[in-house]
Each structure stands twice: as C-alpha cells, then as structure tokens.
Structure 1
Amino acid sequence: MAGFVNRENRVPHYQKLFQEGGRHSVRQWNQTPKSKILLRPYLVILFGGFAGSMYMMGRMVLGHKTWFGKG
C-alpha cells in the first residue's frame, strides 16, 4: 500500500491533457494513449451482444429457439 501513498501526483498532467484535447474536438474518453486499447474490446462486446440479441429475437419470432438449425 505504500506505493499508492507515495506515488507522483498525475492530476495536473491529466488536467492539462484533457483541457488541450477539448479544444480540438476530441472526446474525453479518447484522449489518452490507452483509450483505443480499452475502448475497442468494450465496443466489440457491446455491439456484439446487441447484434446477437437482435439475431435471436428474429429467430424467436420465426419459432426457432436455438442459435443454429431448426430447433
């Protein structure tokens, strides 16, 4: 726990980064270098889940209760 207490204060660095990015119409969640690494899996899961639920909803309307075949 000592590493957490004696850590460098990064708030001024990030505050400057976010304020600079705001002027150039870059969304706040897309300003850090880690943003693309963290955002892409989230969006794949989000839209993949949505697409899967829409696909299964269509199959349920047609009377099929499984993902594949004529179940």
Structure 2
Amino acid sequence: MFRTLPRSAGFVFRENRVPYYQRLFQRHDGKRLWHKTSRSPYLLYPFYVSLFGSLGISTYAMCRMVLGYKTFY
C-alpha cells in the first residue's frame, strides 16, 4: 500500500554542498561572514529589530524609573 524508503534516503543521495559553501565563505568580497548568504536578511533584520527595540524600551523604562515614575506610560 505505502512505499517504504530507507530512513536516510534523503540524506544519502544529496548533492555535496561543502565545496560551494567553502567558496562562498572564503571569498574576499568585503562582506562580513553573517551577511554572505541570501537568507541572511531574513535572519538578521528581525534580530536587529528585537535587539535594538528591547534596548530602547529598556532605556526608556530606566529613565522613567530614575525620574520616579513606576509605570511604563
């Protein structure tokens, strides 16, 4: 009824991508390592937004606490 495949069939018959990634990451093109792939913006920009957003919100709340206000707004 169902065709069974070995568990590692998708892994064994894959193309070897190591030479491609070696060429990509060892290329001297002036880019940082974390900006080299095409998926980098999808991973980095949400991280940047959360990092600097939380830093800004924390700084805002800290300044309000120094001024004596206990609430966020």
TM-score in terms of structure 1 length: 0.82
* Structure 2, unpaired ranges of 5+: 1-6
The structure carrying a bigger helix percent of its residues is 1
Deviation at 1:8, TM superposition (A): 2.5
1:8-19 equivalent positions in 2, closer than 5 A: 8-19=15-26
Task: State how far apart, in whole Å, the 1-side matches of 2:23 and 2:69 are.
Answer: 55
**Aligned residue pair count:** 65
TM-score in terms of structure 2 length: 0.80
Report the equivalent of 2:44: 39
Q: Percent identity, aligned pairs only?
A: 51
State the 4+ residue runs in structure 1 displaced beyond 6 angstroms. none
Q: Which has the larger radius of gyration?
A: 2
What is the root-mean-square deviation of aligned Cα atoms in Å? 1.2
* Structure 1, unpaired ranges of 5+: none
